[in-house]
Amino acid sequence: MSTAIAFDLGASSGRALLGRLDHGVMSVEEIHRFSNDPVRVSNRLHWDVLRLFHEIKQGLLSGKQKFGTPGSIGIDSWAVDFGLIGQDGELQRNPYHYRDIHTDGIMEEVLESIPAAEIFSKTGIQFLPFNTIYQLAALRKYQPELLNSASRFLMIPDLMRYFLTGEQLGEFSNATTTQLYNPIQAQWDQDLLQRLNLPSGICPPVLHPGEEAGRLRASIREELGLDDIPFYTVTEHDTGSAVVAVPALERDFAYLSCGTWSLMGTEVEQPVMHDQARELNFTNEGGAYGTFRLLKNIMGLWILQESRRSWEKKGLLYSFPELVNMAEEAAAFRTLIDPDDDLFLPPGDMPARIQDYAAKTSQPVPQTPGEITRCILESLALKYRMVLGHTEMLSGRSFRGLHMVGGGIQNEVLCQWTANAIGKPVWAGPAEGSAIGNLAVQFIARGELSGITEARQVIRQSFGVKVFEPDMYSIWDEAYGAFCRLLSSEG
Ligand code: LFR
């Protein structure tokens, strides 16, 4: 039997899973789970990366106590954010959270000097104001001294791996999300770096998923009483790992990785870089084994997570299942929002923002947590239908159904409403998609699985999928008409 540990760091929580592969059956056991709480200092929002590193060490300790030394370790996390390493090898400053204000207005400034079409033709990456390229451009503008004294920038999983192994390396899937990596040239785009006056020397060498990436450093082995353990680069962007774990039987499948964000798209062999893809703000994130993820970011369950925090501050404590139950009791299709309105990106009082949105668009203003949750979930399901249609158009494919993976599939009402909205079955599972995809790449790298096709078959057999058949399509179809009208009137 083979074992490996996957660390999967999400925007609100992190986890360590021990994976076992035994005669073609994979199983996972959670060995450590922790919250990932962004820290606001004055008006700036940071990630607490030292706490995350501490939790990773706790995960290693608890894994050792329960199961001994694992065969290997891989780390994945959310994308775009990074730490700067100084000449002395130290982390220079606590990384900013991608929802921090430091990039406000920066993307627009960059696009004035380099046209969007040019950036897209080099990178194939969607325009999100928090992409690493704009974070680095913000540093160039506001804190040039920091940038000048840095010797490397390391994406979050690379930073954690650096702390554990001492190796300063990058990884392809996460490198592409920076919007500074050129997948055609297979290197950091020197022209973009130069035009933005960014030192190209700070970009790390880029490994592909499934390469050996160092070993646990002696000091940590000693501190934790561990043996020597190899690290592999996995698909270090969590969405990339989640897509590795999609238990699809066919090559041309559609997926929705459902968590804080909803990432919807299809896997392609070549980036789709024509104007229409750019106009619809689709992306081509690098994946494992020569694949790309043609996909779109949808704001996702973040809006509900933030709403829950707002209610909590008012002393109203609801679990997610309670909110979903209340949503089911509320009236259908009373109020809709575009979940991707800029309004919903920064942290804050989402219920109040939804109410403002409703008033501004002359819709009934939802009042209760049940009404607000219903509005969020229905609007997400309708947005999924729209983006699925765009994915079909851009890829020239037609999908029989939709694979949903990630923690969001525990919300079965959302899975059912998604099936209703798209009028096709939803195949849900696995919920721990990112961690399972992370483990699969480690097992492939170690020669214990033959490749991605076998990995997906093993994942399907080991974890299964739950099928949600579409229902009440005509009612949802009518609601979709109203949703499209709302979005076109909003411009
Ligand atoms: C999902 C995700 C998305 C990325 C966003 C910010 O966890 O990685 O793919 O766009 O977080 O990094």
Atom 7, ligand 1: which residue's CA is nearest? Answer: 78
Cα of 239 from ligand 1 centre, angstroms: 7
Per-domain residue ranges of the chain: 2-232, 246-429+450-491
Query: Looking at 163-253, which runs of residues are DSSP E strands?
Result: 170-171, 181-182, 187-188, 206-207, 212-215, 230-232
Distance 235 CA to ligand 1 centre (A): 13
- Nearest-atom index, ligand 1, CA of 177: 10
pLDDT, average across residues 317-337: 98
Are 2-232 and 246-429+450-491 in the same CATH fold?
yes
Separation of 80 CA from ligand 1 center, angstroms? 7
> What is the number of H-type helices and E-type strands within the chain?
19, 21
Task: Please determine, for residue 491, whether its predicted confidence score (pLDDT) is greater than 80.
Answer: no
CA of 46 to the centre of ligand 1 (A): 16
Q: What is the DSSP letter of 91?
A: B
Pocket of ligand 1, beta carbon within 6 A: 11, 78-80, 98, 237-239, 259-261, 263, 297
What angle (nearest 5°) sits at the alpha carbon of residue 207, between those of residues 446 and 297?
100
In this structure, the residue with its CA closest to atom 6 of ligand 1 is 79
Please give the pLDDT value at position 230: 97
Question: What is the pLDDT at residue 335?
Answer: 98
> Model-level pTM?
0.97
Tell me the CATH class for 2-232: alpha beta
Lowest mean pLDDT among 82-86, 214-218, 249-253, 278-282: 249-253
pLDDT at residue 484 in the model: 98
Residues 375 and 354 sit within 8 Å (Cβ to Cβ): yes
Residue 238: active-site member: yes
pLDDT at 14 over 80: yes
* Closest-lying ligand 1 atom to the alpha carbon of residue 257: 1
Ligand 1, atom nearest to 81 Cα = 12
pLDDT at 8: 98
Indicate the top mutation candidate among 178, 297, 302, 438 to test ligand 1's pocket, ranked by most ligand atoms within 8 A of CB: 297
Nearest CA among 370, 391, 392, 382 for reference residue 482: 382
Q: Tell me which residue has its CA closest to atom 4 in ligand 1.
A: 79
Ligand 1: centre distance to CA 52 (Å): 17
- What percent of the chain has a predicted confidence (pLDDT) above 70? 100
Domain 246-429+450-491 has CATH 3.40.50.720: no
The β-bridge relationship of strands 426-428 and 402-405 is parallel
pLDDT for 490 equals 80
- Among the listed residues 8, 76, 100, 238, the single catalytic one is 238
In ligand 1, which atom is closest to the CA atom of 434? 7
CA of 10 to the centre of ligand 1 (A): 9
How far, in Å, CA of 466 to CA of 435, rounded?
A: 19
Report the residue among 237, 241, 305 best suited for mutation to probe ligand 1: largest number of ligand atoms under 8 A from its CB.
237
Q: What is the pLDDT of residues 99-108, one digit of tens each?
A: 999 999 999 9
Tens digits of residue pLDDT in 438-468: 999 999 999 999 999 999 999 999 999 999 9
Nearest CA to ligand 1 atom 2: 78
Integer Cα distance of 330 and 326 in angstroms? 6
pLDDT per position as a tens digit, 365-415: 999 999 999 999 999 999 999 999 999 999 999 999 999 999 999 999 999
Mean pLDDT (the chain) is 97
pLDDT of 114 above 80: yes
The most distant pair of C-alpha atoms in the chain lies apart, rounded to whole Å, by 64
The pLDDT assigned to 1 comes to 86
Confidence of residue 328 (pLDDT cuts 50, 70, 90): very high
